[in-house]
Structure formats: structure tokens, C-alpha cells
Structure 1
Amino acid sequence: MTLRRRTVVTALGLTALVGALPATTPAAADGCPPVGDGGLQADVDAVAATGPVGVLAQVTTPHGTRTARAGTAVLGTALPVPWPSRARIGSTTKAFTATVALQLVGEGRLSLDDTVERWLPGLITGNGNDGRAITVRHLLQHTSGLYDYPEDAAGVPQLRTAEAFRTHRFRTYSAAELIAVALRHPPGFPPGTAFNYSTTGYQVISLIIEKATGESWERHVTRRILRPLGLRGTTAPGSDPLIHGPHPRGYRSFPDEPHPVDVTVCNQTLGGAGGALISTPAEVNSFLAALQRGDLLRPAEQAELHRSVATAGDVAEAWPGSRYGLGLMWTPSPHGGYWGHHGDTFGFHTRAATTPDGRRGFTLVWTGPGDEATEAAANTLAAHALTAEGGGGPEGGCGSRP
């Protein structure tokens, strides 16, 4: 759900346990040929060496597709991460939801200047929160000032302890419930005056989409994005706690457990329109490429997508110089920069981006722990993947496996 560095750090307790595992699963186990050390595989190995249980990455370039993996799909075994793995993509979901909202803007059914009060009278009120001052743009850009509900330990207990996770793992949340958690707190700032990453805004957007159209955000994502792009491995699971299809297990460390906890099976309504989707690296790459090419939005809405503000707090710390548009983040690099969206949720971490022209993209997924070293290795992989000279070129990865 979140894009924050501290979400990765909370899983540090796994590092020592997985350090004895082989960094790279033998590729020949399922027919994938060996690869050299100078391309994508070397970058994936570097990510794995920082502590994750399993790692999978796919890079798309004008020269083809490369895929590499490391670690293991199940902690304590040598089972490889499946090539066509599905994973919970957390806050990468926000890019899909924002695309739907912008399509509705292009159709004249919404305006970025519409207030929350216009669509949801009386929803945002109390403790200094005022839906009359918050616009659709503020919600999509994390400039609403609304409190980020996952930060509320009482409202979202399953993120804090293993006992609470086991108690609440199958609990279904409505968007209204999660918004109510956020409204226990005053806003961080007046709307439009600063940036603070808040999934609450995307819960509000989901209700606005439903009010404006009579259909849920999940139905719109499926009809407007997944079906036209042929993304059959991407799903909005609703209250279904399972990941259907091949996938690695997801793990999380908690302070009340000495060993990592398998958190793969859980109800992801906690993330909703801001963090619930399940997808594959190949399909995330396809979506981001189509979005950047202009296949999903009209020119006016495409321009709004990229109108950005400087990030702040944990986001700026993890990705210095980054800027946030409407459901997409710009990250500068020595070779120019890239657009994408990262996500961290129960046991799964996703890093995904594409060049401005959509011709080169990458999606990296790891399970289990991670820290600043993991982020640094992921950023190196991104820099190599998104430049013509780097990883994912003809010398790296695993052929053109999906």
C-alpha cells in the first residue's frame, strides 16, 4: 500500500535467517539457460544479497525482454521463484486508479477541480478536515493533507504484530471505514500547500468514481485497462485472500515473533484502490508502457498525469529529487529519469517504472525483508534497466520468458 522507506525497514528481522540461502536459484532447474554476470542477473543477485527471500525482475527494451530471478519462492527451501509469478503490487495500484480517474475527466464525468464535497457531501469533516477544500487533484497527488490511515495502529492493527495479523488477516474493510480512521486525526496541512503520501486520498477517489459512474473502481480498472491491454494475470481480488496462479510466498517480520511470518494469504481490502491489485512483472511493464505511450489517456489528461510536485518526507528521502504527478512518480537519474510507481504491502515489494517514451521499462518484485541497501540495489537495477547500455540488454537475463 505504501511507498515509504520505513515499510521496507520493518522487515529487517529476516536478514540473518535468509543469509544462508543461495543468492541465485539454479536457472537450469526449469530449463532457463545460464546467464552472464554483467547484465540483469547480476543486478538481481545484488538485490537478493541484501536480504530478500525471493527476487524476480523483468526488463523490456527495444531489443526484447529479459527476466531474472534469485533466492527462493518458499523460505527454507530451494524452490525457485516461478517465472510467471503473480504478486501483490501494493501502491503500484494507484497508477491504475489514477488512470481511470483521468479517463473520466477526459469524458467530462469528473473534473480535477471538483471538490470532495461536490461528490460526497459531509464525508470529509471533523478535526479540521474539510472536504469543501480538497479537490480530486489533491487526492491523486497526495496534496490533500489527509492523514495516512495505515499509520493509525489502532485502526489498522494487523500491520503491527503477528498476533494482530492472524486475528484480522481476513477482515474486510470498506473505503468509508478506512477514511473514518484517517479522520480521527487533523490534516497535516491545508489542501494544496504541501506533499504527504496518503493512501486515504485513493480511498476517497474510489468512492468518487463509484458515485460518478455507479460502478466500482475495480470494474473500471478491469474494463478500461486490463481487458483492452490483455492483462489476464492482473486482478482486483476484492475480499478474496488468495493469490491465484503461480507465486512466491510473502513474508513479514513482527516484533512479537522470533521468526518471519508467512503473510501471503490475507484480505487486501485494507489497500483498496490504493493498494489491492495482484499482477505480474510483465503486465505491470505493459501497463506502464501503454500509459506512457498515450494509449490510455487523451493528450490533455496525459499532460495532467505528468504535472508534478516535489515529494517530501520518507518518499523524498528514499528517492531524492523525485516528483509526484497524478498516480505516477518521476525519479531523476544520471540519464534523465523515469516515470513509475512503487509499492510495499504484506510480504511483497514492487519497484516499477518506464522511460518517458515507454520504450524501456522494468518491474522488480522481492519478498520478505529489505532495507536501505535493498533500495540502493533496486535503484542501480533501475538505472541499468532504463538506459540503453545497462542491464536487460542482450547480455543479461533469461531469454524472453514472460
Structure 2
Amino acid sequence: MAGSRHEKVQEALERVVAEGSAPGAVAEIQDENGTWFGSAGVADLETGRRRDPGDRFHTGSISKAFTAAALLTLEAEGSLSLDDTVDKWLPGVVRGNGNDGSSMTIRQLLSNTSGLGMTGLSPEIVRRYHTRSGFAENRFYVWTVDELLRLQLSIPPVFAPGEGFAYSNGGFQIAGAIIEKATGRTYVDEIDRTVIQPLGLTNTYAQTLDEWQFRGQHCKAYSKGLFVRDDVDPDTLTAENYTSLLEGTDGDPLDITDRTYFEGAAGCVVSTTGDLLRVAEALITGSLLPPAQHRAMWTTGLTTDWIPNARYGLGVSQWPLADGRLAHVLSGMTGGTACVTLGTSDGELIVSMHVNGDWNWYMACYQIAEAAFGSPFLVTQ
């Protein structure tokens, strides 16, 4: 069975690259026969270097699972409670435009139920990063945590805390600030102490806000359709019309590898498929967190306007397969890179996949996951 699974995943990887969904694609599988690695395409379009297991890449929102695990560890150590209000740790910080830190909890930040709005389509971000001139000027701009919080608080909430689901990077950036306030240590140091060191992750680190280059071997990150058309007013962009107002994906991929990242605690972790297998196994089986915190992480609720039929816990999610199984998922996408690591509920089969292109990442990962699990995702009810 494992041999057949590996062959099907290899075929899917080659198909993803042949169809132009990404310059390169990799998958690493942990199953009853140990680990297996497959790849297709290239890590670098200029040199033609092939993808291999040593390639580090930006994990995007998989970082949210690291942030949640750090806070759950602090709760287990008695430093805080996930039911503490934001105001308890950051008094008066979360205020303005209807945002109120006295009425939202750390748990709500980590479950995307705080009501905070989405910053990704704010006019400021669009002008800085989704126009060609803005990206050229700001790709190395160094954000501060205070600036990130200001950006979040410039947007009104979309609902009262606890009354819905809205995917919010800002909620995790606030959570990262709480980690620093509660410990007196940097977010990067706490991620290292609570996740990276306990799991022995040798190819994983959290970037600081001023880092613009990868440490060690890495694949290039390529983007298409990153920019809105020149005739578009950024103030008119919405989640509904955003895709239709982009330049499109017919041009050549743009190398956007070297740049700063402003996601912070919402998306700053760099890793490899091998290390992410270890992270997923620990989070799925409960070997990293105490039982109470493990249950809290995987207590999930329904999502809206996100992955079809997905449920979200604390920095992690569950995506149903068409055959009735529920995959436990760590997922992340940011400019030029997308990664999904998912496993069965018993941790017996775990797959970590990455594509170094951002223009068709969901369908690419969908194909690879279907090959690995023998069932597609459930995308319709």
C-alpha cells in the first residue's frame, strides 16, 4: 500500500509542475514504512537546481500553530490562562474603531473568533505590496509590532468577540505581543524554547521582522498575479472582487524570495517538510502539550469564508475527506510559497507538501493530498 501511495504522490507532484501550478513541488510522507520524499521541478528557475529534502521555505500561517503551542505551554506552566482578556496583558492597547481588548480573550485570538477584521486587503497593505511600485519600494521595509497593531486597529471588527469566525493575522500578532509581555522574552526565543527545542527541529527557526534573507539552503519563492491592475483604486478592493482585479497569471513568475515579512507571530516560521512531519506528529498525537492543552488545541469550530467545510481549533484546523475521515491540518500560504501538512487522527499517516509558487496552491496541494490519502477533500455538502 505504501509503495502504491508513494507512486501516486510522485505522479501528482509531476503533474502539478507539468500543469504550471508551481516551478517545484515536494512531499514527504511518514507512514507504516517510515519516511519517503518525492519531488518534481526546480528550487531555482535561474540555476535549474532540483528540489531536495534540505530546502527550507517560508511556512506562512503554519506559524500560527507554533504561536498557539507556545501560549498553550505558558498556560500549562501557570504563566497565563487562555481565558484571560487581552487587556489583562496589554491594557488599553487594543482600542479604537470598535475594537475592545477588554471583551476578547487569548483563546478567541487563537481560534479566529475575536471579531478582528482582515488586514490583508487594507488599502495600506495593497498600496505597499500589491502594486508593482509599492512592492519595489517596500519589499525590504522593516515593520515593528506597534505598527502591525496599529494596522489591525485601524480596521473595525466584523462581529463581537465569540460570535463568528474571521481569519485574522492581527489576532495572532496580538497573541505574539502577549507572549512577550507574559514572559519578558522575545517571541522568537519563546518559539524556540516551547516548540523548536523540545521537538529537536534542526532546520526550523522563527524569523525576526528585520530578516530579509533565508538562513542556509532554501528554495526560491515565485509569485504570479501578485499585483492589482494599474487602473484599480486600492480603496475599492474587497474579498469578493480582489481576484478579478489582479493582473493575472499569464506572465513569467517573479522571484520574491529576498524580502522582509511583516506577518510576525501570524507567519514567520521557516522550516522543511521533514521538520514539519515531526511538528504535525507531536501536535496530532499530543506528545508536545499536556492533555488539557492538547484537547484545547483541537477543539474546533465551523469556519466561514475560508477552506470549504474546514473546522478551526487553536492555530490548527481539520479538513474533512470525502470518505468520511477528518484530516488534522497545519496550512500556510504567503507570497511565493504554500505548504500543507496533514495527517490522520491517529498520526499513522502524515504528509507534508510544499510548492514554491502562489498562483494555484490550493488545487496543487489538493491533488497531492488526494494521491496520499486515497480520497479528495470534501468540498461540497
Unaligned runs of 5+ in 2: 231-246, 377-381
Q: Give the match for residue 54 of structure 1.
A: 24
Partner of 2:11: 42
Superposed CA deviations along residues 359-398 of structure 1, whole A, max 9, x for unmatched, are 2211111112433xx52342232244246x99xxxxxxxx
In structure 1, the residue corresponding to 2:205 is in which secondary structure?
A: coil
Rounded to whole Å, the distance in 1 between the matches of 2:188 and 2:339 is 20
Candidates 193, 196, 200, aligned match of 1:226? 196
Residue 47 of structure 1 and its aligned partner are, at CA, apart by: 2.3
CA distance in 2, matches of 1:120, 1:265: 33
Deviates more, 1:203-212 or 1:346-355: 346-355
In 2, Cα distance between equivalents of 1:285 and 1:134: 33
Q: TM-score, normalized by length of structure 1?
A: 0.82
SS at match of 1:149: coil
Q: Structure 1 residue 331 and structure 2 residue 319: aligned?
A: yes
Deviates most, 53-62 or 78-87: 78-87
Q: What pairs with 1:267-286 in structure 2 (closer than 5 Å)?
A: 267-268=260-261, 270-286=262-278
Could you tell me whether the CA contact under 8 Å between 2:338 and 2:355 is conserved in 1?
yes
Give, as a single letter, the amino acid of the residue that structure 2 aligns with 1:261. Answer: L
Counterpart check, 1:115 vs 2:91: no
Q: Which amino acid aligns with 2:368?
A: L
SS across alignment from 2:355? strand
Q: Determine which of 337, 351, 368 is the counterpart of 1:362.
A: 351
Query: Aligned partners of 1:36, 1:378: CA distance in 2, in Å?
Result: 15
Give the corresponding residue for 1:305.
297
2:309 pairs with one of 321, 324, 346: 321
Residue in 2 aligned with 1:129?
Answer: 99
SS of the aligned residue for 2:354 comes to: strand
CA offset at residue 346 of structure 1?
2.3
Verify the 8 A CA contact 1:50 1:370 in the aligned structure 2.
no
Displacement of 1:324 in angstroms is 0.1
* Residue aligned with 2:163, SS: coil
Distance in 1 of aligned mates of 2:5 and 2:372: 16
Q: 1:261, CA displacement in angstroms? A: 2.0
Correspondent of 2:284 among 292, 295, 302: 292
Give the TM-score, by structure 2 length.
0.86
Say whether 1:345 aligns with 2:345.
no
Conserved 8 A contact 2:113-2:164: yes
- Residue 342 of structure 1 aligns to a residue in which SS? strand
Pairwise CA distance, 1:157: 3.6
SS at match of 1:330: strand
2:221 to 238, 250, 256: 250
Unaligned runs of 5+ in 1: 1-34, 391-402
Structure 2 equivalent of residue 88 of structure 1: 58
1:241–1:267 contact (8 Å) kept in structure 2: yes
Query: 1:37: Cα distance to partner?
Result: 8.6
Alignment-mate amino acid for residue 25 of structure 2:
V
Shift of 1:209: 0.8
Deviation, 1:79, is: 2.5
**How many equivalent residue pairs?**
348
For 1:385 and 1:249, locate their aligned partners in 2 and report how far apart those are by CA, in whole Å: 25
Q: Which has the higher contact order (CA 8 A, sep 6+)?
A: 1
Percent identity of equivalent pairs: 34
Distance 1:284 1:149 in 2: 27
- Conserved? CA contact 2:129–2:138, under 8 Å: no
